[in-house]
Copies of this chain bind each other. A is one copy, B any other.
Amino acid sequence: MSLVVVGSVAFDSVETPQETRENVLGGSAVYFSYAASFFTGVRLAGVVGEDWPPEHTHLLRGRNIDLAGLQTVPGGKTFRWRGRYLADMNSRETKELHLNVMENFNPVLPDHYRRCPFLFLANGSTDIQLKVLDQCPGATLAVADTMDHWIASQRDLIDEMLRRIDGLVLNDTEAKLLTGEQNLVTAGKRTLEFGPRFVVIKKGEHGAMFFSKHECYVLPAFPTAHVVDPTGAGDSFAGGMMGYLAQQREFDPEHLKLALAYGILTASFTVEGFGLDGLIAISRDDIERRMTEYRKMLSF
């Protein structure tokens, strides 16, 4: 079953201790879509400039990613981000941010997007996320990501969004900021009180935690020695998770836990390559093989 994602499409310039690459295809909606495409068809909504090359369209269409909702702004430039990872590959600093066409992004979803039951609001301005929710009143599972910037600057809108979505995905720092709680178990449970039926706290190399009314659990990340570029790991996690749920058309507790595991494993491939390379190199079979290893790792 198809899955709609609305988010950023970007050219990333990424500096790691080993390597620097310029203008790599990235953005939250791109990582999400590619990750989800191992599981289901994806409909991407976003905006690019005239500098968007046809090979990127080709690459995404080849993954069964619908680009009917990808706007091109004549004369505009695509969103650009430059970041640098520190030696531990966990912390990073943003060196440049050019919103370009994202500055006036106003998502208008094609009709067949609006009828999709599965919706993911990738990280972006909360007012945009709310505009998307307005267009998809019939979504059976609407999940959002957010980040510290929006939590700090658009708290009223964040609160409105939290009342309207089914699930929230955010990282550990953001969960602490959102709730004022330092303990992640408490922060996850407090976040539920704001409205969503479930909350996922991403912990990067330490895995992810899940919270719902009756459940609280944590799954570790898949251990990998080959962390090449962590960019897009969080979006790939969400893509794997939502892709699996959309494929299964179920989101009971059992499927949600499996979805969390698929999200973790999909992201583990993303960090093993630069940009999308880690995902481009694999097939669904590779994810399943890693799932077998992961289950074995967690059984005793």
Contacts and interface: CB of A to CB of B under 8 A. Distances in A.
Interface of A: 87-89, 182-186, 189, 203, 205-207, 209, 216-221, 223-225, 227, 254, 257-258, 261, 295, 297-300
Contacts of A221: 218
A187 B185 CA distance: 28
A217 B223 contact: yes
B218 A185 contact: no
A87 B182 contact: yes
Contact of A217 (B207, B219, B297): B297
B182 A223 contact: no
A184 B228 CA distance: 14
Given A219-B298, A257-B300, A299-B298, A225 B89 contact: no
A182 B17 CA distance: 11
Nearest to A87: B182
Given A186-B225, A207-B220, A220-B220, 14 more contacts: A185-B225, A203-B206, A206-B207, A206-B220, A209-B223, A216-B223, A217-B297, A218-B220, A218-B223, A218-B297, A219-B220, A258-B300, A295-B300, A298-B298
A142 B268 CA distance: 35
Nearest to A205: B184
Nearest to A218: B220
Contacts of A87: 182
A227 B300 contact: no
Contacts of A206: 203, 206-207, 220
A146 B190 CA distance: 37
Contacts of A219: 220, 298
Contacts of A184: 205, 223
B220 A183 contact: no
Contacts of A298: 219, 298-299
15 contacts: A89-B182, A184-B223, A185-B223, A185-B224, A206-B206, A218-B220, A218-B223, A218-B297, A219-B220, A219-B298, A220-B220, A254-B300, A257-B300, A261-B300, A299-B299
